[in-house]
Amino acid sequence: MSDMIKDEACCGGTIDETSSTAFPRVNRLLDRFFDIKPQLCIERAMAYTRSYQKTEGETAVIRRAKAFKKACEEKSIFIADDELIVGCAASIPRAAVFCPEHATGWLKEELDGLSTRRQDPYEVTEEQKAVLRSEIFPYWEDKDISSHWLRQIPDEVKEIAVKTGIIDIEIKTQSGPGEISPNVKKVLQKGFLGIKKQAQDAAAALDIVKPEDYEKKNFYEAVCISLDGIMALAARYAALAREKAAAETDADRKAELLQIAENLDHVPANPARTFMEALQSFWILQIGCYIEANGPSYSPGRVDQLFYPYYKKDLAAGLLTEKKALELIECLYLKFAENTWFLSTNAAMYFAGYQPYQNVCVGGIARDGKDATNELSYLFITAKMEVRLHSPSLSVRVHKQSPDKFLRKAAALSQIGTGFPAIHNDEVTIKMMLISGADIEDARDYCMVGCVEPYIPGKMSKWTDGGHYNYGSVMELALTNGISVVNGNKKLGLSTGDPSEMSFEELKDAVKKQLAFCIKHIATACHICEKLHAEYTPYPYMSAMIDGCIETGRDITRGGAELTVGPAFIGTGIADLADSLSVIKEFVFDKQVFTMQDFVQAVKHNFKGHEEMKAYIESNGRFYGNDDDYVDDFVREMTDFAFEEITQYQSYRGPHYISGLYPVASHVPHGEVVAALPYGRLEGTPLADGCSPKGGTDVKGPTAVLKSVSKINHDAHVAGTLLNMRLDPMSSKGEEGNARIVSLIRSFIDLNIYHVQFNIISSDLLKKAQKNPGSYKSLIVRVAGYSAFFTELCKEMQDDIIQRTVQKF
| Active site residue ranges | 451, 453
Please give the Cα distance from 221 to 200 (Å, whole number).
Answer: 8
Pairing of strands 563-565, 490-491: unpaired
Q: How many alpha carbons fall within 13 Å on the CB side of residue 70?
A: 19
Pairing of strands 393-398, 359-363: parallel
* DSSP-derived 3-state class of residue 392: coil
Nearest in space to 423 (alpha carbons), one of 460, 366, 381: 381
Distances (CA, A) of 118 to 265, 315, 791: 44, 48, 12
Helices (H) and strands (E) in the chain, counts: 35, 22
Burial class for 134, CB neighbours closer than 10 Å (0-12, 13-18, 19+):
exposed
Q: Which amino acid is at 474?
A: V
Please give the Cα distance from 548 to 206 (Å, whole number).
Answer: 17
Nearest in space to 461 (alpha carbons), one of 547, 537, 535, 538: 547
* DSSP-derived 3-state class of residue 721: strand
Please give the Cα distance from 174 to 343 (Å, whole number).
Answer: 7
For 314, residues 6+ apart whose C-beta sits below 8 A from its C-beta are: 274, 275, 320, 325
- CA-CA-CA-CA torsion for 793, 794, 799, 805, nearest 10 degrees? -30
Please give the Cα distance from 521 to 201 (Å, whole number).
Answer: 43
Please give the Cα distance from 526 to 518 (Å, whole number).
Answer: 12
Cα three-residue angle 346-61-528, rounded to 5 degrees:
45
Cα three-residue angle 399-402-408, rounded to 5 degrees:
120
Cα three-residue angle 272-179-564, rounded to 5 degrees:
95
